[in-house]
Amino acid sequence: MHIKKGIPVSPGIVIGEAYILENEEYLVRKKEIPESETQNEIDRFEKACSASVTELQSLVTDVNKKIGQGYSHILDAYIKIIDDPSTKSQIKKVIASDHFSAEYAVETVLKRYIKALMVLNDQYFSARVQDIQDIKKRILRNLFGAKKQDLTKLKKSIIIVAQDLSPSQTVSLDREKIIGFITDTGGRTSHTAIVARAMGIPAVVGLETVSVDISGGDILVVDGNNGLVIINPDEETLKKYRQMEKIFTNFEKNLTIELKDQPSVTLDGHKVRILANIEFPEEVASSLKFGAEGIGLYRTEFLYINTRTHPTEEEHFKAYKKAIDELGNKEIIIRTLDMGADKFETSEQAKEHNPFLGCRAIRLCMLRTELFKPQLKAILRIAFYGKNVKMMLPMIATVEEIRQVKAILEQVKSELRRSNVQFSDNLQTGIMIETPSAAITADLLADEVDFFSIGTNDLIQYTIAVDRINEKVAYLYQPAHPAILRLLQNVIAAGKKHNKRVAMCGEMSGDPLYTILLLGMGLMEFSVTPTSIPTLKKIIRSVTMDEAKKTCEKALTLKTSEEIRNFLTTRIKRIIPEAF
């Protein structure tokens, strides 16, 4: 048994078999073979090695021809490693003496090498880790033949173990069969984590070397509430977690049933709005099931996932219509394109030195109006169709940006008028408050817009200067940092003063730890991952505004995020002990 601690990003407890997702999606199972099969497995292994060497030799010839002699030494080194007698004999020993399949033997022995190199924590050896990973993948590909494991046709439930998962890989996971996932990299507000929460898949990220530590077929406990992964648990631990799994699932189920149709009001009668964040129109139905009053954030950039071309105006319109038809007259806030470095590895942003500080979101839209205009047209048209549609702009840092967008919006309206297309002429437009400059100047921005929605995921990363997807600095990523609390206070006060709605749609709004604090600050609108709605409602219905204000006042006197978190934990544990 072995326990690893990472970052909990999607709650729940699951127990299941590990499935190692190599970048090329090969499933390496811990498969035992009968004695009579061992020679056959050794032959398969030898053949896979020869095929890998032949591939590499032809690559060497190619490289020499195209770029000249001297550039192929890395490939020569690969060939030497594959042909190394000591490595080969170790792999064959796992097959012949331990009776494991060739795939599992390759995986186990080469992983041992990788682990040994990683322990050295040296730049030179880190690069060699990559080389051995490449070699492992090449031999495995030849062992498996051209056939790749198809994640959509799994026969039993599994837990995905990966170095990293992109949001697009996450959304294509089969919810029926994939019951949890764990990764080496990532942080709480990475879009992969957000998608996992939306899908209700328990997940732990930032586990550093977990994809190397675990082999396919290992039994895992994933505790998405506490960020723990237990590898091959003993009987007693397994029993304990099976019980916890049951308690948590029942808690969530009962809470949803109990609270779905109950209003979200405080004990002393203050109404609080709870809306849902979605990435796809298909999520509207489950948002309503969890009791959402509407959609407070529709992340439209996910329309770009898994497509090679940019969506057309009609494709935007169709997606929005799908959501609206499901919502009826309930509100939907469509956020314009927020292309970000952590969402699309192949986008232009990836080529920038500091993608998060570069041409992202509204900045990209202003630069690439051929992308932006079709979306604006589709939103204007759908607002005529849907009546309760609003638009929200991401990553606003200056008043000028809002004015520039408004000018483009007027141009787009003229174009629609000229084409005799019906659209809404009084579309309400709000902005996300997710840069420190916007939070500090909220009073100036308030005059220019209809509403604010605080995007804490980015606001925290930009305020504390901590990359939201980098697990190495995740300890610094603290919603409870006194600087964040002060900025939130400023934004909520500016909204109140200027009579503008203020909502919060960053992940902080769905974290039960902060609900009372935020209520006490005067936040009356929360837009959250649908699965968080019942818990939030339960908390809101258990406090008075007076209590919430006192909690907030006390929290604001504390100096460190740890003190604030501890203080809030004791408060919230009294209401929902099951969630902690």
499 Cβ contact list (under 8 Å, min separation 6) = none
CA dihedral 350, 352, 358, 364 (to 10 degrees): -60
Identity of residue 220? L
Buried b (16+ CB within 10 A) or exposed e, 380-403: bbbbeebebbbbbbbbbbeeebbe
Size of the site for ligand PEP (CB under 6 A): 11
Rounded Cα gap, residues 345 and 300, in angstroms:
17
Q: Which is nearer to ligand PEP, 288 or 505 (CB)?
A: 505
Kindly state whether residue 505 participates in binding ligand PEP, applying the rule CB under 6 A.
yes
Tell me the closest approach of the beta carbon of residue 295 to ligand PEP, in angstroms: 13
Rounded Cα gap, residues 509 and 522, in angstroms:
13
Binding site for Mg ion (CB under 5 A): 434, 455, 458
Q: Choose the one of Mg ion, ligand PEP, none that binds residue 506, judging by a C-beta under 5 to 8 angstroms depending on kind.
A: ligand PEP
Chain-centroid distance of CA 452 in Å reads: 23
Residue 30 dihedral angles phi and psi, to the nearest 5°? -80, 80
Q: Which is nearer to ligand PEP, 19 or 462 (CB)?
A: 462
- Token pair belonging to 304: 């770009």
Q: Which is nearer to ligand PEP, 191 or 381 (CB)?
A: 191
Interface with ligand PEP in residues 322-341 (CB under 6 A): 338
Which residue among 107, 252, 434, 511 contacts ligand PEP (CB under 6 A)?
Answer: 434
Question: Alpha carbon of 278 to those of 281, 288, 290, 291: distances in Å?
Answer: 7, 11, 13, 14
- Three-state DSSP at 267 gives coil
Q: Is 552 labeled as catalytic in the residue annotation?
A: no
Q: Which is nearer to ligand PEP, 179 or 392 (CB)?
A: 392
Residues in the chain: 580
Q: Which is nearer to ligand PEP, 82 or 469 (CB)?
A: 469
Catalytic choice (49, 191, 365, 481):
191
Rounded Cα gap, residues 399 and 432, in angstroms:
13
Kindly state whether residue 28 participates in binding ligand PEP, applying the rule CB under 6 A.
no
Tell me the closest approach of the beta carbon of residue 275 to ligand PEP, in angstroms: 12
Q: Choose the one of ligand PEP, Mg ion, none that binds residue 561, judging by a C-beta under 5 to 8 angstroms depending on kind.
A: none
Q: Is 505 labeled as catalytic in the residue annotation?
A: yes
Tell me the closest approach of the beta carbon of residue 44 to ligand PEP, in angstroms: 46
Tell me the closest approach of the beta carbon of residue 432 to ligand PEP, in angstroms: 6
Kindly state whether residue 349 participates in binding ligand PEP, applying the rule CB under 6 A.
no
Kindly state whether residue 458 participates in binding ligand PEP, applying the rule CB under 6 A.
yes
Q: Which is nearer to ligand PEP, 338 or 471 (CB)?
A: 338
- Three-state DSSP at 273 gives strand
Binding pattern for the stretch 392-431 against ligand PEP, x by CB under 6 A and - elsewhere: ----------------------------------------
Q: Which of these, 471, 487, 489, lies nearest to 189 by C-alpha position?
A: 471
Tell me the closest approach of the beta carbon of residue 292 to ligand PEP, in angstroms: 16
Q: Which is nearer to Mg ion, 360 or 571 (CB)?
A: 360
Strands 203-205 and 7-10: antiparallel
- Three-state DSSP at 470 gives coil
Q: Which is nearer to ligand PEP, 52 or 532 (CB)?
A: 532
Kindly state whether residue 456 participates in binding ligand PEP, applying the rule CB under 6 A.
yes
- DSSP string computed for 519-559: HHHT--EEEE-GGGHHHHHHHHTT--HHHHHHHHHHHTT--
Q: Which is nearer to ligand PEP, 107 or 301 (CB)?
A: 301
- DSSP string computed for 342-391: TT-TTSGGGGSSSGGGSS-THHHHHH-HHHHHHHHHHHHHHHHHHSSEEE
Contact (CB, 8 A) for 17 and 219: yes
Side-chain half-sphere CA neighbours of 307 within 13 A = 10
Strands 219-223 and 13-21: antiparallel
Give the sign of the dihedral formed by CA 493, CA 494, CA 498, CA 504: negative
Catalytic choice (49, 359, 365, 505):
505
Tell me the closest approach of the beta carbon of residue 171 to ligand PEP, in angstroms: 14
Sheet holding 158-162, edge to edge: 2-5, 228-231, 219-223, 13-21, 158-162, 178-183, 203-205, 7-10
Contact (CB, 8 A) for 430 and 392: yes
Tell me the closest approach of the beta carbon of residue 459 to ligand PEP, in angstroms: 7
- Token pair belonging to 241: 């977690």
Binding segment toward ligand PEP, per CB under 6 A, in 367-375, 415-423, 451-459, 476-484: 451-459
Tell me the closest approach of the beta carbon of residue 489 to Mg ion, in angstroms: 20
- Token pair belonging to 46: 């030898």
Tell me the closest approach of the beta carbon of residue 441 to ligand PEP, in angstroms: 18
Binding segment toward ligand PEP, per CB under 6 A, in 69-77, 419-427, 450-458, 571-579: 450-458
Tell me the closest approach of the beta carbon of residue 407 to ligand PEP, in angstroms: 24
Interface with ligand PEP in residues 188-207 (CB under 6 A): 189
Rounded Cα gap, residues 65 and 43, in angstroms:
33
Q: Which is nearer to ligand PEP, 60 or 393 (CB)?
A: 393
Kindly state whether residue 183 participates in binding ligand PEP, applying the rule CB under 6 A.
no
Kindly state whether residue 457 participates in binding ligand PEP, applying the rule CB under 6 A.
yes
Which residue among 138, 188, 299, 363 contacts ligand PEP (CB under 6 A)?
Answer: 299
Q: Choose the one of ligand PEP, Mg ion, none that binds residue 525, judging by a C-beta under 5 to 8 angstroms depending on kind.
A: none
Q: Choose the one of Mg ion, ligand PEP, none that binds residue 505, judging by a C-beta under 5 to 8 angstroms depending on kind.
A: ligand PEP
Binding pattern for the stretch 357-396 against ligand PEP, x by CB under 6 A and - elsewhere: ----------------------------------------
Kindly state whether residue 506 participates in binding ligand PEP, applying the rule CB under 6 A.
yes
Residues that bind ligand PEP (CB under 6 A): 189, 297, 299, 338, 434, 455-458, 505-506
Residues forming the active site: 191, 505
